[in-house]
Amino acid sequence: MSLQKLTKKAKEDHSKGIHVGVQETPARVRIRKDLEALTGVTSEVIHSRDEFYVVKVVVKPTKGVYSGGEFHFRIDLTEKYPDDGPKVRYTGPMRVYHPNIEGEELSELRLHGRPCTDWGVCVGVQREWKPNYTLCQLIISIEMLFEHPNYDDNLPGLASTAAEVLKTDPAKFEAIAKEWMKGDTHRVK
């Protein structure tokens, strides 16, 4: 093969996340396959070759309580993916009033003098993960949290309060959620 063809192939491989000297493991193949098959996803999905086992997702709901907002998530994968399921964290840019996203500002990190910059997410696909599930299914599940917050499957802390308000007074829940989306007082530091 000519040097020109080798260079072209190396560039193509690099753009696909294949690095010379990096072993092509089943997890890497599956992650790449999942990312190439993202159909029906409305979110922005960011995948960096430098952080191969991290997928960042930006959800921008167009309807419902959270319409007009922007919500960032981090999906952490392991070398054992898809056997080991992904871990989803909410990363901001501001805290969110939501029953399925932990919004407890007084987290363990904050108690130790460091600001909390990510929170847990309660999404069924993550909790009940099976190896035949895909990143596409997980991302769509995250998107659905904003169309249909689930007060019956809430996280503790502030999320529990949000669930109770959603259940007993949906109009009040919507007003609080929209207020949180506006203000700098809830911005992740």
122 counts as catalytic: no
In whole angstroms, what is the distance from residue 65 CA to residue 106 CA?
25
Q: Which of 57, 88, 116, 140 is catalytic?
A: 116
Q: CB within 8 A of 124, min separation 6: which ones? A: 141, 153
What is the maximal distance between C-alpha atoms in the chain?
A: 70
A 10 A CB-CB count for 178 gives 15
Instruction: Convert 1-14 to b/e letters by CB count within 10 Å (16 or more is b).
Output: eeeeeeeeeeeeee
Instruction: Convert 63-77 to b/e letters by CB count within 10 Å (16 or more is b).
Output: eebbeebebbbbbeb
Which residues are designated catalytic?
A: 116
